[in-house]
Amino acid sequence: MTLLREPRHHAPDENLTMRTFCLVPPPALIASALLALSMSCGALAEEAATAEPHSSGLPIWGAEAQARGYQVPLPFGIGVTAYSARQPVNIQDLQLGRNGNPPVSVTNFLQIDRVDTSQQNVSMKFDVLIFPFLGVYGIAGYTKGTTKGVIQAPADPLLGIVESRQLQLDAAFSGPTYGAGVTLQGGTKVSDWRDLTALVVADWNRTRTNLSFENESLIAETKPVATVFSARAGLHGAVGNSTAAALWIGAMHQSIQQTVAGSVANTDLQFIVVQSPTQPWNTLLGGLLEFGKNGYVLFEEGFGDRKSILATAVYRF
């Protein structure tokens, strides 16, 4: 989240292991890792004094903003992000079908206890600052994770369950993830001490994952989509002649695809799972260390039902 800062008036210068039939509710895929935060605040005071328009002509109105004394970050950024998260999900409906017949709900037949999902993601992000206050980006990476839980199943010969049993849900999944997003940001100077600046950032992104199960008998027929919105507010200040730091607090909302369908290879069994996060919101706390105007490293942790850790390194040019 590159940040346009206020003029400095004092100087012009982020399986199911079921032996009778193999059905795995799909994972609750999450895209928060793919935010690849860009909370850089651009040049420090002495650098702003000699700043010139970028050869690309971006961002639009960037030269005018610099002429008024604003610090404008370099327009292009490339970053690498690592992300890990764990959260519970609700399985709202589980449907089974055979021989091509429409799947029917078996939720009343099976008692599904709490299901937990975890995921890890590594991604790359390329962003462009279109206006001093608005950036767009594309992201591509790889996601893997697990879904774990317990299903209580009474005996039912029609489903191939000859006696009541407790079934362990233990599925592993992975696949490439890609998407795009947009970031709005702004800031205002609040103190001359270390050029302290208050900042506000809002981000929206949408991603798709080409899902596959490690259990080769399970075939996913959907590509789960995730939509993530986050907002952050914090403080940025100089910590040296060419370094700066920022701290912030925020919140994130994740909306994952509610319905995922699939089938079991070499059988006539199809399944549909309807799911949702137990709690779509969580709290964020993070910080960064900025090295001049060309790069920074960032760390952010998520709290609440969804616990997450994100680390990013970004180079701007």
Q: Is residue 23 part of a domain?
A: no
Q: Phi/psi of residue 9, each to 5°?
A: -70, -20
Q: Is residue 15 part of a domain?
A: no
- List pLDDT tens digits, range 254-305: 988 667 777 777 777 777 777 778 889 999 999 999 998 899 999 999 999 9
Q: How far apart are alpha carbons 173 and 27 in whole angstroms? A: 7
Helices and strands, counts by H and E, the chain = 2, 15
Task: Tell me: pLDDT of 137 over 90.
Answer: yes
- List pLDDT tens digits, range 65-105: 878 767 788 999 999 999 999 999 887 777 877 777 788 88
Mean pLDDT confidence for 26-49: 44
Q: State the CB neighbour count (10 A cutoff) for residue 189.
A: 16
What is the structure's pLDDT at 19?
A: 29
- List pLDDT tens digits, range 163-173: 666 666 677 88
CATH classification of the domain holding 122: 2.40.128
Q: Is residue 109 part of a domain?
A: yes
> pLDDT grade, residue 59 (50/70/90)?
very high
Q: Is residue 288 part of a domain?
A: yes
Count how many domains the chain has. Answer: 1
Q: Is residue 200 part of a domain?
A: yes
What is the structure's pLDDT at 35?
A: 43
Q: Is residue 5 part of a domain?
A: no
Task: Tell me: pLDDT of 224 over 50.
Answer: yes
Residue type, 252: M
Report the predicted TM-score, pTM, of the whole model to 2 decimal places: 0.79
In sequence order, the 6+-apart residues with CB closer than 8 A to the CB of 99 are 268
- List pLDDT tens digits, range 102-135: 888 877 766 666 788 899 999 999 999 999 999 9
Q: Is residue 14 part of a domain?
A: no
CB 132 within 8 A of CB 144: no
Least confident of 182-196, 237-251, 270-284: 270-284
Q: How far apart are alpha carbons 269 and 42 in whole angstroms? A: 56
Chain-centroid distance of CA 6 in Å reads 29
CB 148 within 8 A of CB 169: yes
Q: How far apart are alpha carbons 246 and 145 in whole angstroms? A: 31
Q: Which domain holds residue 127?
A: 32-316
CB 171 within 8 A of CB 146: yes
